A and B are shown apart, each in its own frame.
Chain A
Amino acid sequence: KQEVTQIPAALSVPEGENLVLNCSFTDSAIYNLQWFRQDPGKGLTSLLLIQSSQREQTSGRLNASLDKSSGRSTLYIAASQPGDSATYLCALRGAGGTSYGKLTFGQGTILTVHP
């Protein structure tokens, strides 16, 4: 059974800092990995998707990496802004069998960027 862990559970940083959010998983047989952002009480916004054959993806100030062999992914946010404050979730799609089709989520990291 795939288990996804996100560390830290919460993070508070001053505006302008670069930061890294971590996601670890127990089963390396994944199809892809998505990073999402969730504002309080709202739905999920997809930030980046990394296919299992890729090592990283970039979008603006965001960079996500994937290391299947070690069961880890990181989300790097450059030059953080107060508007980046939200919960960040990583989710994996399994590569086949009973895992295929569904996303397995971590618990999320609550990020607060203060001015």
Chain B
Amino acid sequence: DAGVTQSPTHLIKTRGQQVTLRCSPKSGHDTVSWYQQALGQGPQFIFQYYEEEERQRGNFPDRFSGHQFPNYSSELNVNALLLGDSALYLCASSLISGTYEQYFGPGTRLTVT
């Protein structure tokens, strides 16, 4: 049973560029959430997708956008990258029903130079 997978593992981008991160949820899960974790901080909620729609959003600008596909996988897009976007981006999956326990992927380390 595959857990949550994310790609790529590491990414280096230049300020002003755009980036796309990808996530495949744990088998059987239908909900994907994205978090940003700066060095030495706890993860911060970006948004959550269910049934291919953004259901909830944290305090992040519109430069952060996402998508969920019919197979429940998801993408996180960040436009006009800033140095402050450098962080570990974590994807979590869960079931919309039940305990809502979230399972996290290994993360994508984004460095903006």
Contacts and interface: CB of A to CB of B under 8 A. Distances in A.
B100 A32 contact: yes
B43 A44 contact: yes
What range describes how many residues of A lie at the interface?
20 to 34
Interface string A75-115: 00000000000000101010000101111111110000000
A42 B106 contact: yes
A18 interface: no
B99 A32 contact: yes
Nearest to B101: A49
Contact of B48 (A45, A102, A107): A102
A36 interface: yes
Contacts, number: 66
Contacts of B41: 107
B101 A44 contact: no
Interface string B15-59: 000000000000000010101000011111100100000011010
A63 interface: no
B104 interface: yes
Contacts of A106: 42
A91 B43 CA distance: 9
Interface in A1-58: 4, 31-32, 34, 36, 41-46, 49, 51
Given A41-B88, A101-B55, A108 B101 contact: no
B100 A31 contact: yes
Contacts of A46: 101-104
A89 B55 CA distance: 25
A103 B45 contact: yes
Interface in B92-113: 92, 99-107, 109
Interface of A: 4, 31-32, 34, 36, 41-46, 49, 51, 89, 91, 93, 98, 100-108
27 contacts: A31-B100, A41-B88, A41-B109, A43-B6, A43-B106, A44-B104, A46-B101, A46-B103, A49-B101, A51-B99, A91-B43, A100-B56, A101-B31, A101-B33, A101-B100, A102-B58, A103-B43, A103-B45, A104-B45, A105-B35, A105-B42, A105-B43, A105-B44, A106-B42, A107-B40, A107-B42, A108-B42
